[in-house]
Structure 1
């Protein structure tokens, strides 16, 4: 895996670049479908022609659908428009020469444009972004080689609940390993007694909402074990 780490970093870097570039294309009249199509074009511009996730390079959810948890094989983008104020999640699954990327971000649309997190005015939006960052930091500090996937599943779901949020994932998990075949993925889920080893690449992707509220937040990165611990790819 170490020999291929640079290859994974290149593909994941493209996903991160596209998630930066897409901001300028999103307007109040943009729909999920249009945003997904533009993400695909941007991925292609950077040399990514394929997706490992059921042929779904960009899974976009906004507004009333931000809390929807759906597999790429069942996803169809809607014609719902962004409007004056909204929350948009974009999950990219690029594939190049058998190498996966996997990255998602939550975007806040206020005052007719995507806002930097420090400029977000809506308190619920601002809090959700901070909670996602907190969870990722907790994940990096908590996870160690030799822990089981189930152990991490219980820890992170407990943390989500303590913060007053709920896990929206349709399978209840919070991430998976990076593989060469979809069916080989190992999930951070109940009853998975497999232990993490130092050569694994894995995602952390809590899809959450504040209990009783309507907005669903996502933040996904790929992580790996380095000499100093868990690091973001």
Structure 2
């Protein structure tokens, strides 16, 4: 039986293969098509979010936050120096993966570690995402509510001098059997974190008024009372 960790591994492997293949001159449609083909080759049999396996944005388009229902691959050609966000939604059977990263092309080369970029603005955004995930693992406990987690982590976003770009204002969601069954890390959701088997954390942030957005998404579950990424 397939479990979430297996499907998440498909997403992680497809992300790395796609990162390594990024080149100036590629269109975002090319990037999406090649990434979705990799997801299927690695074992996905569907894409759970509106039938889209790879949401791709680049440059100033990285601040866009849209529903899958409205998403159209942007008409954009990758440049020598580029910020790219890639959000993957593979499915195998009834099991989902959900994985996003911000990637960097510098001098025509895709960086293995995007935080190694010489662009200070981009590096700061990427490191802020990593800090938010580290703080999530410190503050989240099984009996905390989704509402409380949303409050705590949105406060941390602001304290780092960023803003939440999500079009619904949330920071993640439970992993469910159907998209409509998800519950969100958002104000008003008083369910406990341990009321679901696993959930995503995916802050989409930018500097207030800034031109670039950053995203970093993992699936988490509690193991012996501690939050652990898949």
Give the TM-score band, short-chain normalised: over 0.9
Aligned equivalent of 2:61, options 53, 61, 65: 65
Q: Does 1:152 align with 2:152?
A: no
Q: Which 4+ residue blocks in structure 1 deviate beyond 3 angstroms?
A: none
Which sections of structure 2, spanning at least 5 residues, go unmatched?
Answer: none
Partner of 1:131: 128
Following superposition, the deviation at residue 198 of structure 1 comes to 6.2
Partner of 1:143: 140
Q: What root-mean-square deviation, in Å, do the aligned CA atoms of Structure 1 and Structure 2 show? A: 1.3
Q: Deviations over 1:86-111 (max 9, x none)?
A: 11000000000100000001001111
Partner of 1:99: 95
* Contact kept? 1:166, 1:208, Cα under 8 Å: yes
Q: Deviations over 1:15-47 (max 9, x none)?
A: 000100002321111121111101111011112
Aligned residues: 229
Q: Does 1:173 align with 2:170?
A: yes
Partner of 2:50: 54
Partner of 1:190: 187
- TM-score, with structure 2 as normaliser: 0.96
Q: Deviations over 1:161-213 (max 9, x none)?
A: 01100000000000000000100100011111111216520000000011221
Partner of 1:85: 81
Aligned equivalent of 2:4, options 8, 11, 15: 8
Partner of 2:116: 119
Question: In structure 2, how many angstroms separate the alpha carbons of the residues matched to 1:86 and 1:57?
Answer: 22
* Contact kept? 2:142, 2:225, Cα under 8 Å: no
* Contact kept? 2:106, 2:117, Cα under 8 Å: yes
* Contact kept? 1:56, 1:73, Cα under 8 Å: no
Question: In structure 2, how many angstroms separate the alpha carbons of the residues matched to 1:206 and 1:199?
Answer: 19
Which sections of structure 1, spanning at least 5 residues, go unmatched?
Answer: none
Q: Deviations over 1:98-155 (max 9, x none)?
A: 0000000100111101112353100011111110000000011111111111111111
Aligned equivalent of 1:42, options 16, 22, 38: 38
